[in-house]
Amino acid sequence: MNDWIRAQEEDENAVLMMPPELLAADNKTHYRDMTIAEFRGLKDLVTNLETQGRNKRKYILAGQERDLENLVSELLQTAEQYNAPRDVAL
């Protein structure tokens, strides 16, 4: 888990709030053997990961929407440019 956390922080610029106890455990403790405080820390960790994932998705979708809006704007400008009224001599 520690490797994954480091990769997310370096590659994805994620900010993960990890309780030090969980980082030290690193999959060595069965959940039945965890104290209430450790289990609550695990729950907080999962909640943090969910929030990070939701925020990342929002940013990706917002970027795609912005790209689509730019594309539509460019297409409209091009269409207006080529469909401008022309004087036709008769």
- Specify the amino acid at residue 73: S
The structural domains of the chain, with segments of one domain joined by +, span 9-20+33-74
Helix extents (H) in 1-90: 2-11, 20-25, 36-82
Q: What is the largest CA-CA distance in the chain?
A: 92
Predicted pLDDT at 88: 65
Collect the ranges in the chain with pLDDT lower than 70: 1-2, 12-19, 21-23, 25-27, 84-86, 88, 90
Predicted pLDDT at 63: 86
**How many angstroms separate the CA atoms of 30 and 38, rounded?**
11
Render pLDDT for 37-56 as a digit per residue (tens, 0 to 9).
Answer: 888 888 888 888 888 888 88
